[in-house]
Chain A
Amino acid sequence: MLYREAGDFKTSYVKDSQTFPIKADRMAYFALLAVAFLVVPFIINDYWANAVAVPFLIYAIAAIGLNILTGYCGQVSLGTGGFMAVGAYACYKLMTGFPEMPMLLNVLLAGGITAGVGVLFGLPSLRIKGFYLAVATLAAQFFLVWLFNKVPWFYNYSASGQITAPERTMFGIAVTGANTPAWAKYLFCLVILVALAWLARNLTRGMVGRKWMAIRDMDIAAEIIGVNPLTTKLSAFAISSFFIGVSGALFFAVYLGAAEVGEAFGINKSFLVLFMIIIGGLGSMFGSFAGAAFLVLLPVLLKNLLVGGLGWPTDLAAHIELMIVGGLIITFLILEPHGLAQLWRVAKEKLRLWPFPH
């Protein structure tokens, strides 16, 4: 048997609290990292980068961000699109305002600015919960999109109202702009995703994560054992918004290249990322990745199958595709309300005993 937990004993608490306590998991993780860094960049082409890899990496960052807020801290947010727009516009203003600034710094600063905005819109969470908070964050979504449309300073008074990413290089290779090679886009996003995912994982397995989950599971009990609801909720908003801001910056600068706020960062984006974490699994790092992969890959897969495989007309395929994705989401939620992460967990528990039923 390749995958088993039995006999994998831990002899220290450090080893017991590591991210992948099971040896097989750990090896699979390192193997995956090695392939992602050492193999994929050499074989990736424009189609794979633009249709699959880059959107997956960017949405994974957004999904981790929203999962921190909604999945770990229990604060429902429908403002993801708006916060991504903050990241995108902050990145644009930094890129055009300070042409000498390294691109990585631009992206991180854009995340930092979004974190500030997120804290501001997180303030209502101290008084309201659940659906009411969702409505408050919905207001953020509409307000931010309106703001970036209405105030010309944000799009540098361009006639079209669009923002366009100028070319920026890292180590002499373009990472934004029209001349960016596919592998550079991919690697740039991958490095950021891996670094941020590592930070998120550390936060969620430590005391910060426990505070968030305590607030999520029972806020009164959390307060009674010493969790300060103010700082805990706002830290979740800040860190979540940082992730979402970074993903917005990458989405605009690396993936789209040019964006119009209502189209790129509308309410649809908020729902898309929310669906990702619901389908993937709330409060699970694996779920963030799985959900992003599911919703990015499924449409591509269906399109290839229907148009390429069955030869259907493109417009018909596009409509059918929407219906199938929608249907699958509903089926999934009925079969496994806790998402792909739970399926994965159950599968692992079964594997422990396999081939015996008990």
Chain B
Amino acid sequence: MSNSGDGYMTADGRKIGGVMMEMKNITLRFGGVKAITDISFDIREGEIRAIIGPNGAGKSSMLNVISGFYVPQEGEVWFHGKKRAPMRPYQVAQQGIARTFQNIALFEGMTVLDNIMTGRLTLMKSGLAAQAMWWGRAQREETEHREKVEKIIDFLEIQHIRKTPVGRLPYGLKKRVELARALAAEPKLLLLDEPMAGMNVEEKEDMCRFILDVNDEFGTTIALIEHDMGVVMDLSDRVVVMDYGRKIGDGPPDEVRSNPEVIRAYLGVGHA
């Protein structure tokens, strides 16, 4: 790893490691529309990195570039010190990057347990024939992974809905199940696209607690998009601010908050 030596200490005393993912001069176009223009930033090992910006700033597009949905026309994505070739989303998942979606993308017809078990599929190895026989390795593996999944279920406090089909759950719980499914993959990097959208204050507090706990207990690096400024400023170690596809700020929350360009983008100024 090229930059692994340097790091920094956060305000609450956690040690942040070297660069895990680096976006270099990313430009993404849809036909004539530039969604992202020449953006560079990095995500360091163990940190909570936020991407903020007004609607249409290109935040979700950025996340989609990281998770492989979009291939940028220009720029490079570096992960663990290696340049990443353009790849399909499932290959990105196999590299240890998991994500949740802005509008929940769960498997509605499956139970909570099956949804979360699906999250572990990149870690399961038994073949088709073994699974068809439900014998030996396949059955052992199923049980082992079930144990891991049960830990995540305990961690996110969703034991009571284990066998409920996801389609029947209320919104807040669905969000939590989606987080559980992403966590089940034991990701190195967890991408959260508006994890608190549409939640009430209590649910938001729960979700904040879970995000901090995930980062603290599993050491998972987290990159999140969020609109609730209070949440972002409290949770994140460093913030990237985007507006109209450009990066207009990057740094610790306090620094970003006082950045005049950021204030202009969010509050607007009179065109005198």
B131 touches A206 (CB 8 A): yes
User: A208 within 8 Å of B by Cβ?
Assistant: yes
Which residues on the B side are within 8 Å of A16 (C-beta)?
146
B137-164, CB under 8 A of A: which get 1 and which 0?
A: 0110011001100100000000000000
B132 touches A17 (CB 8 A): no
| A7 CB to nearest B CB, Å | 17
B101 touches A213 (CB 8 A): no
User: A334 within 8 Å of B by Cβ?
Assistant: no
User: A202 within 8 Å of B by Cβ?
Assistant: yes
| B191 CB to nearest A CB, Å | 9
B142 touches A217 (CB 8 A): no
Binds B, one of A85-93, A224-232, A293-301: A224-232
Residues A225 and B109 in contact in the complex (CB < 8 Å), given A13-B143, A235-B128? no
Which residues on the B side are within 8 Å of A225 (C-beta)?
90, 93, 98, 118-119, 121-122, 181-182, 185
Which residues on the B side are within 8 Å of A223 (C-beta)?
88-90, 93
Chain A interface, number of residues (Cβ within 8 angstroms): 31
A202 touches B109 (CB 8 A): no
| A337 CB to nearest B CB, Å | 13
User: B169 within 8 Å of A by Cβ?
Assistant: no
Which of A205, A217, A223, A224 is the most central at the interface, judged by chain B CB atoms within 10 Å of its CB? A224
Please give me the residue from chain A that is nearest to B104 by CB atom: A221
Which residues on the B side are within 8 Å of A220 (C-beta)?
69, 89, 105
Enumerate chain A interface residues (CB-CB to B < 8 A).
12-14, 16-17, 199, 202-203, 205-208, 210-211, 213-214, 216-218, 220-229, 235, 283
Would you mind naming 22 contact pairs between A and B with Cβ atoms under 8 Å apart? Answer: A12-B143, A13-B146, A13-B150, A199-B132, A202-B134, A203-B132, A206-B134, A207-B118, A210-B117, A211-B118, A213-B114, A217-B106, A217-B108, A218-B108, A220-B105, A221-B106, A222-B118, A225-B118, A225-B122, A225-B185, A226-B121, A226-B185
10 closest cross-chain pairs (CB), A and B:
A226-B93, A221-B105, A217-B107, A202-B134, A226-B122, A13-B146, A206-B131, A223-B89, A199-B132, A210-B118
Kindly list 8 other residue pairs between chains A and B, CB separation below 8 angstroms, not including A210-B114, A221-B101, A221-B107. Answer: A203-B128, A210-B118, A211-B121, A223-B90, A226-B93, A227-B121, A235-B128, A283-B109
